[in-house]
Each structure stands twice: as C-alpha cells, then as structure tokens.
Amino acid sequence: MNVLVAAPLPKAFTYQWHSEHMPRFGMRVIVPWGRQHRIGLVQGVAPDQQLAENIKPVHSVLDQGECLSAQWQALIEFAAKYYHHPLGMIALEALPKALRVLNARGEEPVMVAKSREHAMKLLAERTDPDTSVKANKTKIDKLEKPELNAEQLDAVAQLANAKGFNPFLLYGVTGSGKTEVYLHTVEERLKRGEQVLVLLPEINLTPAAQALYKERLAPHRVVVMHSNLAELTRTKAWFEAATGAADVIIATRLGVLTPLPRLGMIVVDEEHDPSYKQQDGMRYHARDLALMLAKQREVPIVLGSATPALESWLKADLGAYKRLCLKNRAVLGASLPKVELINTANFPAKEGLSEPAMQALVQNFEAGKQSIVFLNRRGYAPQMVCNACGWVANCDHCTAHMVWHKNERMLRCHHCGAGQRVPTHCPTCGNQDLTGFGRGTQRIEETLAGLLPTANILRIDADSTRNKGQMEALLQQAHSGEADVLVGTQMIAKGHDFANVALVLALNVDASLYSHAYRAPERLFAQLMQVAGRAGRRAGDARMVVQTRYPQHPLFDALKAHNYESFASHEMQARKDARMPPFSHQATIRADHKKLANCLQFLSTARELGEPLVDADSPVFMCDPVPLTVVRVGGIERAQMLIESESRPALHRFLTQWLAQLHELPGSVRWFLEVDPVDL
C-alpha cells in the first residue's frame, strides 16, 4: 500500500496492508517511521507490490477517510504538481494538527473524537429548520441592512445566478459596499443548499466578518478558520466544513485546502493582498489555488478589491474574468479623502512628524474625529546606536540590525526572533548615551502622546496584539469610537469599516518609492489607497496626509486622483516593457547553508544541470545565482536563482525534469523551489 507521509521527498512510502477494511484514498493510518510512529494517508495500492520482507506493515487504521474526497485529492494533487512540492507534505499539512500529529504517547489526540462528534451532531441537526445560532461575542456597529444601490444590485444578480466555473473581478472603490454584495450573494447561494468559502487576507479581519455573517445569515452555520485558533476550535471548524455541517467558511489562506463537500461559490476578499501568499513550507498563493478549486468544482468565484493585483486586472482586460464595478462609496454623503502631500524638504519632520502633519492631527482631534497614523514598522526604533563611537546593535545570527522595543526593554531581531535586554552602555566604548535611530510605531505613539496629551491613543501592530483577545479588544475600541488616534502597521490599513475616521497620516513611505523590488510600487500604491480608504466612510471632508521627500513621484498623482486605473495602466506597460509578471512566469530556487559559498556552488551546479534541458521548445532562462539581500538569518546564509519563461507550460515542463535531477544531488545544502515568487 502507498501511504503519504509528511516527509520532504516527492514520493509515497510503501507498507503492507493487513486491515479488514478496504483501502481507499484518504484513510488515515498510523505507520512505523524510524523508531516512532506517524500519521499517514493511504494513497492507493502500490503498483509493484511484492511482499518483500523489509516492507513494514501499517500499524493501525484511524478512520475511513470519509472527509477526504476524490475532489479534495484532485486539488492537493494539482497543488503538488503546480508548486512542485511533495504531495505527502501538502496533504498532511492541509489537515489540522490534531488530525496529523500523534500526541506524546503516540495516540491520536482526544480532541479528534470530540470534534467529529460535534460535527456529526450538527450535521444531524441540519434537517431541523429551527436550529438557531448563538450570537457572537464581537459586537458590530449597527446591523441595519442597507438598501442596495443599482451597481450593487447588478453585481449581486450576476453573482447569485452564475453557474459553473465563472470568475468575477469585483472592482469597487474602498467603502463601496463590496461586503454587502458578498452578503446578499452568499444568502442567495445558501438558499440553494450550497456551501460558500469566504477568504480574507488577515486574521484581524475575521472577528468582524464572523459577527456580521453570523448575524445576517442566521440560522445558517458560519465557522471561522485561521492559524491562531485553539487546536480544539480549529479541529471542530475543520470537521464542520469537511462534513458539510457548516454553510459558510470564513478563513485565511489555509481555508482553501479544506475539503468542502457542498461548495457552491468562493469569495476572495482583498484579492490583491500579499498575505495570501504562504511564505514557508509549500509557498502557495491562496487566491490562485482558490481559482483552481473553483475550476475543478465548476463553481463561480469572485475576487474583490479596490486595488486589484495586476495579474487579475490583466485577466479582466483579456476577458477571462468578468469585471463588476462599484464606482462610488455606498453611504450617502461619504466621499474619498482629499490627499495632501507634505514635502519634508520644506517641512522637516521633528520626531517623525512635520509641522503641517501635527496641525492636522490636533485639528482633527479637536473636531472630535478619529485619526489613523500609518507606519509600516513596528517597535520603537529600527536601530540602536552609540552616539560616541557609532556602534550599532546587530543580531548575532542575522545580517540585520536589532530593533529597539522600548516598552518591553528589549532588542529584537525581526528576522530570527532573537531577543536580548537593552544594554545599559555601549559594548565597545562604554558610553551610556545609547539612542534610537529611525522610528517605529512605539516611538510615534510616544510622540503623539506628547502632542495630544488628553487623547486616547491606540497602537495596533503585531506586538500589541500578540496575546489572545488583545486584537479583538483593540479593534473594539477602534470601532466604538473610544480611541481618538490609531497608530499602526498594515494591520489597520485595510478591510476595516471604521465609521469615524476623518484623517489618515502616512509616514515613512519613501523607502518603497525607489525600492529595487519590482512589485514595490504596486504594493505601496495599494497600501496607500487602502489606508486612505479607512477615512470618510460615513461622511465627506476627510483628509489623507502623506509625508514624503519625493512629492513629484508619479505614483502620487494617481493617489491624489484616487485613480487605480491610471496607475494600473502605467504599471502594466512598465511590466510589459520589462517582460515581468504578469507578462512572464517565474520560479526561484533557494539554497540555504552555513556558508554562502556552498549555496552559490549548489546553485551553479543546479544551473549546469539545467542548461541541457533548455532549448527552442523550452524557452526558459536561468539568471545568475545571487545572495539574498538579508544574507544570513538565524546563522544560515541564503542565496537564490531566478528562472523565467514567457510560457508557463514551458517553465513547468522544465521544472519537472530539472527537479528530478536536483533531488539526486548529494550534499548538505538545503534547497527549495518557489513558483510565482512575490518577494523579488
């Protein structure tokens, strides 16, 4: 019997089968693995099964694999092929931990039984029309159901009635009421007994969505899935989704790999968001896999955004996706904020804030309105330096500076997570005058407290939301209006429907303006449009203030005009001229080793192996191996090589042949492949 096990090899492992059960795909089994046991999934009968003596028998059968259908198998097989990642790793990592990892005693955790029982009970209740859903803890503003406007009605009509594989791009400005469109569409689809998957890019958007969908779609069963849930909760939600007991599944990217027996439609909100890309293990893009899922299951899918990814925009231009537009803000009297640029050459920043920016903050506070200060950098200061000798605190394990976290009195490496106490004096010269260089959210928070001593200032970033419940509590204060100023990273910049924000201040945008990463302008533009979009959602006269040294940059013209389309056409042309995605297809191979030279050597060998596979039929180009910008992380040095082709099939043909050879290479260099990389 072939059994899939979470191991980094592109093959199944063969075991003998003694069970009285008929083997079938997806059955979970315990198999001997070295001196221990592991959970595996039956893949099928090994083609050349001989009863060789060294083939070990399957230890025991955990379940019949009822939840893991042939449809799910097709999806993970596609993912394995497309991302050139071991099928066993994908299949097992798609399951909640409780279903794939044995406990310390080598047994299946009890929560599996509990979760299954819970789902079965719900499934049985599904036939009972009086099933009512408990109200959610998270309160939401008001739950009145607005009358849809003409554009929304048109979008809902098309989405609710769409049949078969049918991709839509819902292009609607921030605050145009895309969420209402989803809700009405989902309601219609649920009436037909379908299950709907709603993907959101970030965990912090799930509480509000859950509350809203539950309230509006009761008594339908709404579950949430993301990586921050308690194991029991997550396993229960998985069973509810996989048995079909749940009607709506609100999930972050991992939701796309869940079995959904009654799937009828997929919603991908904020489809442009880079958080949909998984950055370790199987480096998949959840939006792209969602499209594949929709295709395989022959169901419609809607990708929603105010700033679509250029990939999606091009598809809509080509007619592969149907574009639905919401051109205006939904709430009567609401309007997009007026964008003002402050040239820091004329108005130098003191403690990060220029004079006009400070005035704007004070004015807005005195007018009783909320402000957002957006700064994509957490901590107090990105560097700690000695003013006497120029020493800078660096990470011992990474080619990176330590970030000063003043509140926690720690220096932290944002690459490897290493932490140490803030030193009392300079380790090289003994000087006690150590200061922070640059500014993070904590430091801006401190400056704002000085500027607005009576204001309630809230910081929302990865540090302030680390503990359970903190994020919900902070967002609650933001929504209720208790908070006067929100300081935060991209966590507050997107998706949230804040009612009372009248001013957005964007700081520290210049680094991305002239970054060498080719996606940097697209990302910056999307981020600024999104954060601008948090202001003026219920009333007009909102402002967005951007501090920059480069106010003449063309990106700002499009921002001032709130004109995604002009930005997109400009950027699209630039990509086309440079033969960059979406006009070419890419993969990278990354090599990790203690010594950079070994990484580069490995990549050179890999390139030599690849050369003979490239020909006229296989127009593939391998670039030079290069060290990563941050070369060393956690004591490991990294290098990578980019592979490009204008033909996706040619690229994948090449990768398949090439990887077969790479897996045979001996040596201690760890390597992996990434298809459609986004961080270049």
Ligand X SMILES: Nc1ncnc2c1ncn2[C@@H]1O[C@H](COP(=O)(O)OP(=O)(O)OP(=O)(O)O)[C@@H](O)[C@H]1O
Instruction: Output the smallest distance, CB 172 to ligand X, in A.
Output: 5
Among 55, 74, 331, 416, binds Zn ion (CB under 5 A): 416
From the list ligand X, Zn ion, none, pick the one residue 395 interacts with, judged by a Cβ distance below 5 to 8 Å according to partner type.
Zn ion
Query: In angstroms, rounded to a whole number, what is the distance separating the alpha carbons of residues 375 and 528?
Result: 11
Residue 174 interacts with ligand X (CB under 6 A)?
yes
Is 416 within any annotated ligand binding site? yes
Out of 306, 411, 413, 606, the only residue in the binding site for ligand X (CB under 6 A) is 306
Least distance CB 431 / ligand X (angstroms): 48
In the complex, what is the shortest distance from the CB of residue 521 to Zn ion, in angstroms, rounded to a whole number? Answer: 29
CB of 396 to Zn ion, least distance (A): 7
Q: Does residue 237 interact with Zn ion by CB under 5 A?
A: no
Q: Mark 535-564 with x for binding to ligand X (rule: CB under 6 A) and - for no binding.
A: --x---------------------------
Q: Is 207 in the site for ligand X (CB under 6 A)?
A: no
Shortest CB 201 distance to ligand X, Å: 11
Q: Is 325 annotated as a binding residue?
A: no
Pick one of ligand X, Zn ion, none as the site partner of residue 3 (Cβ within 5 to 8 A by kind): none
- Quick check: 390 and 443 in contact, CB under 8 A? no
CA distance 84 to 86: 7
623 in a known ligand binding site: no
Q: Closest approach of Cβ 157 to ligand X, in Å?
A: 14
Buried b (16+ CB within 10 A) or exposed e, 233-252: bbbbbbbbbbbbbbbbbbbb
Does 96 sit near ligand X (CB under 6 A)?
no
| Partner from ligand X, Zn ion, none contacting 330, C-beta within 5 to 8 A by type | ligand X
Q: Which residues contact 153 (CB under 8 A, 6 or more apart)?
A: none
Yes or no: say if 587 and 675 are a contact pair by the CB < 8 Å rule: yes
CB 180, min distance to ligand X, A: 4
Q: What distance in Å separates the CA atoms of residue 187 and residue 215, rounded to the nearest whole number?
A: 12
Residue 180's binding partner among ligand X, Zn ion, none (Cβ under 5 to 8 angstroms by kind) is ligand X
Residue 398 engages Zn ion in binding (rule: CB under 5 A): yes
Contact residue for ligand X among 73, 176, 210, 465 (CB under 6 A): 176
Identify whether the C-beta of residue 487 lies closer than 8 Å to the C-beta of residue 463: no
Q: Which stretch binds ligand X (CB under 6 A): 146-154, 224-232, 427-435, 542-550?
A: 146-154
**Contact 447/351 with Cβ under 8 angstroms?**
yes
3-state secondary structure of 360: helix
Binding to ligand X by CB under 6 A, coded x per residue (else -) over 177-196, reads xxxx----------------
Task: Say whether 395 counts as a known binding-site residue.
Answer: yes
Q: Which does residue 14 touch among ligand X, Zn ion, none (CB within 5 to 8 A, set by kind)? A: none
Stretch that binds ligand X, among 143-151, 464-472, 541-549, 615-623 (CB under 6 A): 143-151
Q: Judge whether 159 and 326 are in contact, CB under 8 Å.
A: no
* 426 belongs to an annotated ligand binding site: yes
State yes or no: residue 533 binds ligand X (CB under 6 A): yes
> Pick from Zn ion, ligand X, none: which does 331 bind, CB < 5 to 8 A by kind?
ligand X
The piece of 86-94, 125-133, 168-176, 239-247 that touches ligand X (CB under 6 A) is 168-176
| CA-closest candidate to residue 257, choices 29, 512, 67, 66 | 67
Q: What is the DSSP string of 473-525?
A: HHHHHHHHT--SEEEESGGGTSS---SSEEEEEE---HHHHT-SSTTHHHHHH
Among 46, 55, 331, 539, indicate the residue that binds ligand X (CB under 6 A): 331
Q: Are 164 and 315 in contact (CB under 8 A)?
A: no
Closest CB 394 distance from Zn ion, rounded Å: 9
Q: Which stretch binds ligand X (CB under 6 A): 92-100, 111-119, 173-181, 571-579?
A: 173-181
Determine the residue with CB nearest Zn ion. Answer: 413
Question: Which of 493, 174, 200 shows the shortest CA–CA distance to 305?
Answer: 174
Q: Which does 397 bind (CB under 5 to 8 A by kind): ligand X, Zn ion, none?
A: Zn ion
The span of 171-179, 408-416, 483-491, 611-619 binding Zn ion (CB under 5 A) equals: 408-416
Using CB under 6 A as the binding rule, whether residue 151 contacts ligand X is answered as no
Place of tokens 């979760």: 115
Residue 429 annotated as lining a ligand binding site? yes
Site string for Zn ion, 377-396 (x = CB under 5 A): ------------------x-
d(CA 236, CA 115): 4
- Provide, rounded to whole angstroms, the least separation between the CB of residue 275 and ligand X: 14
Calculate the CA 225 to chain-centre distance.
Answer: 13
Q: Which candidate, 91, 85, 74, 84, places its Cα nearest to that of 2? A: 91
Count of C-beta atoms within a 10 Å radius of residue 676? 19
* Paired tokens of 393: 């605190």
Nearest-approach distance from CB 278 to ligand X, in angstroms = 23
Q: How far apart are the first and last CA of the chain?
A: 42
Residue 119 interface partner, choices Zn ion, ligand X, none, CB cut-off 5-8 Å depending on type: none
Contacts of residue 286, Cβ cutoff 8 Å, sequence gap at least 6: 199, 252, 253, 254, 255, 256, 268, 276, 277, 278
Per DSSP, the three-state class of 381 is strand
Q: Where are the alpha helices (DSSP H) in 192-280?
A: 206-217, 231-243
Omega before residue 582 within 30° of 0, cis: yes
Residues that bind ligand X (CB under 6 A): 146-149, 152, 172, 174-180, 306, 330-331, 495, 497, 533, 537
Contact residues for Zn ion, defined by CB under 5 A:
395, 397-398, 413, 415-416, 418
> Which residues are annotated binding-site positions for Zn(2+)?
386, 389, 395, 398, 413, 416, 426, 429
